Amino acid sequence: MNSTTTETSTTTHHSVVPRDQWLAERKTLLAQEKELTRLRDQVARERRALPWVHIEKNYVFDTPQGKRSLAELFEGRRQLMVQHFMFGPGWEQGCPSCSYMADHTAGMQVHLEHRDVTFVAVSRATLPEIERFRRRMGWQFAWVSSNGSDFNYDFHVSFRPQDRVNGTVNYNYGMTEFPAEEAPGISLFYKDGEGRVFHTYSTYGRGVEVMMGTYNMLDLTPKGRDEHEGFYKMDWVRHHDRYESQAVFKPAPEVDSCCSAKA
């Protein structure tokens, strides 16, 4: 048995082939990748063509600058992107998976702003709770509290006991089981020249992976996301200040889930 065969059978469990055979198979995959890109572009066009809903309710948020309406969160831009961040009143810290999402905003924010998009995170935790956790994580993006507002409930990312029907809640556009009182999501809004605000799009469940750039990179690697099967696949994720100091991969023990991994 030669060394290549040994490597294949004991480590990668993949076939090892000559370069010309690899290139032929790579080109076959490339055709599928191009088709996926075209499909993604088509879905994006259809997303932009969705009708809008005029926001008539006066949502007010607690911010470090005082009370602000939804319209005032735009900060002079026409488009607003909201991360529905799972962080409820009385929680010690925000959801690790939502924190994983938020970790990706630092590099994106300046580019979003130069394309007429303001980014803000919204949670039902109180503003002092948010500010304490935000300082711990070192984040600079705007993060406001919807505590005392219907905002989270109206966008189906927070659930009261009475919202549960036979153990299910209205999440991701249907009644589904969800283990927590808070859920992740992303919503988009537009403000016209008259100051009217419109809801244009929301995505939930695995749709929030759009913020998880690390996943896009992991999907290119030989091991992929390297996650176990099950309802909650992200139990490996830690708050970025809670990983072991030495970056050596170790399978994560199972932890209580806080975000849905359903599509």
Q: What pTM was estimated for this model as a whole? A: 0.86
pLDDT given for residue 229 in this prediction: 74
Closest to 172 (Cα-Cα) out of 107, 233, 83, 261: 261
Q: Give the Cα separation of 221 and 226 in Å (integer).
A: 10
Domain ranges of the chain: 16-49, 53-211
Closest to 185 (Cα-Cα) out of 218, 219, 146, 236: 146
Helix or strand or coil: residue 203? strand
pLDDT given for residue 254 in this prediction: 46
Specify the CATH architecture of the domain 53-211.
Answer: 3-Layer(aba) Sandwich (3.40)
User: For residue 18, what is the DSSP state?
Assistant: -
Q: Give the Cα separation of 234 and 224 in Å (integer).
A: 13
The owner of tokens 């896009």 is: 216
pLDDT given for residue 231 in this prediction: 63
pLDDT given for residue 248 in this prediction: 56
Q: Give the Cα separation of 225 and 217 in Å (integer).
A: 9
Query: Which residue ranges of the chain lie beneath pLDDT 50?
Result: 1-10, 254-257, 260-263
C-beta of residue 196 within 8 angstroms of C-beta of residue 186: no
Q: What is the pLDDT of residues 73-121, one digit of tens each?
A: 999 999 999 999 999 999 999 999 999 999 999 999 999 999 999 999 9
Tell me the C-alpha to C-alpha distance, in Å, between residue 256 and each of 95, 177, 249, 251, 260: 11, 15, 20, 15, 11
Q: Give the Cα separation of 57 and 135 in Å (integer).
A: 31
Closest to 94 (Cα-Cα) out of 104, 84, 106: 84
